[in-house]
Structure 1
Amino acid sequence: MTGEIRGETRRDGLRLVHTAHLDAASRQAARALLDVVFEGDMADDDWEHALGGWHALVWEDAELIGHASLVQRRLLHGGRALRAGYVEGVGVRPDRQGRGHGSAMMTALEGVLRGAYELGALGSTDEGERFYASRGWQRWPGPLSALTPDGVVRTEEEDGCVHVFPLSAPLDLSGELVCDWRDGDVW
């Protein structure tokens, strides 16, 4: 493994670590991995969204082969601002996919979700939808919006792409879900 990271490495090579304890070499390895996984479609804003929370990292010897992160966001729903754990930057090196690494990372992050948040949320590609559904994540069928500097703005292009992991917050899946503002893709 490159650099010093606080946290315990499990037998399967998974390590759960906060961004604050992620050394520069590991950050670079994670960003490079996601560039490969997303075939160059990982913008700087996308990487920025994955920082500031927990990272589930899968290592094989000294090589990073999997990354997923969980950051805190505020989602508005039913007249409440909910403390949400938002999953970002999930990827496994293409030649290591299908071996349970994605499930191991999500299991670790879902454990954090259960202990710290009112709900989980994530934006999924079409390819990832079945994976998340098999883990209990539910597609949000209601309208999606963002709380922008100009007020609440509908984000129709994201409808059907957001999934939630229900925890303690009462949810009406047909109702509106509003995310907090951030640069780049808001969802």
Structure 2
Amino acid sequence: MAAMTGIHPRLVHTAELDARTRAAARTLLDDAFEGDMSEEDWDHALGGVHALVREGDELIGHASVVQRMMLHDGRPLRCGYVEGVGVRADRRGRGHGAAMMTALERVIRHAYDLGALSASEGAAAFYTARGWQLWQGPSAVLSPTGLRRTQEEDGAVHVLQAGTPLHLTGELACDWRSGDVW
């Protein structure tokens, strides 16, 4: 899809983000999420591979994939978890989000057992159209006190199969982190 649109995101690891780009990405996501991007949410987007779209010197799109562990059918799975997907409001609907996701999906398919993300109602159709599947089973988290159900996330978790068989109606548990666990 990225080749069709002529949009070519730059992939960089968090360690390669200079201070200016990091600050621009944070500001972009604050705007894209209309002020609902907490420091914990931003922290969750760090430590992996970022897909960046620029127009000239200006950052207009950001998405990242970070490694997490998931538990499914009694097996730990290495997961490429998508975070911080945002495009500047006046540039939406032009293929920037699709180009970033195409780049990150390639990373997921070649480096992880599966991909996962938690989608808002407004974004769910975008991911489903790209082949992401709604997780139909119960969601949970491996918390410091043990396995805990996360019913509030049921119906929002989407997965991208990347070679490891998944039973979409089974339980999927993510690793613990501060803030939103999914």
User: Aligning the two structures, in what range does the TM-score lie when normalised by the shorter sequence?
Assistant: over 0.9
Q: Deviations over 1:32-63 (max 9, x none)?
A: 00000000000000000000000000000111
CA RMSD of aligned residues (A): 0.8
Output the CA distance in 1 between the equivalents of 2:7 and 2:156. Answer: 30
Output the CA distance in 2 between the equivalents of 1:169 and 1:180. Answer: 18
Q: Is it true that 1:114 corresponds to 2:106 in the alignment?
A: no
Give 1:32's aligned amino acid.
T
Q: Which residue of 2 aligns with 1:135?
A: 130
Unaligned runs of 5+ in 1: 1-10
TM-score, normalization by structure 1: 0.93
Matching of residues 5-20 of structure 1 within 5 Å: 12=7, 14-20=9-15
TM-score, normalization by structure 2: 0.96
Q: Deviations over 1:103-153 (max 9, x none)?
A: 000000011011101100000001111100111000001000000001001
Output the CA distance in 1 between the equivalents of 2:135 and 2:110. Answer: 22
Output the CA distance in 2 between the equivalents of 1:173 and 1:19. Answer: 31
The answer on whether the counterparts of 2:119 and 2:158 sit within 8 Å (CA) in structure 1 is yes
Output the CA distance in 1 between the equivalents of 2:166 and 2:54. Answer: 36
Q: Is it true that 1:67 corresponds to 2:65 in the alignment?
A: no
The answer on whether the counterparts of 2:141 and 2:148 sit within 8 Å (CA) in structure 1 is yes
The answer on whether the counterparts of 1:13 and 1:60 sit within 8 Å (CA) in structure 2 is no
Q: Which residue of 1 aligns with 2:3?
A: none
Flag as ranges the 4+ runs of structure 1 deviating above 3 A.
Answer: none
Structure 1 residue 12: Cα displacement:
2.9
Unaligned runs of 5+ in 2: 1-5
Output the CA distance in 2 between the equivalents of 1:15 and 1:140. Answer: 30
Give the share of equivalent positions with the same residue, in percent.
Answer: 65
Q: Is it true that 1:163 corresponds to 2:151 in the alignment?
A: no
Q: Would you say how many aligned residue pairs link Structure 1 and Structure 2?
A: 177
Q: Which residue of 1 aligns with 2:94?
A: 99
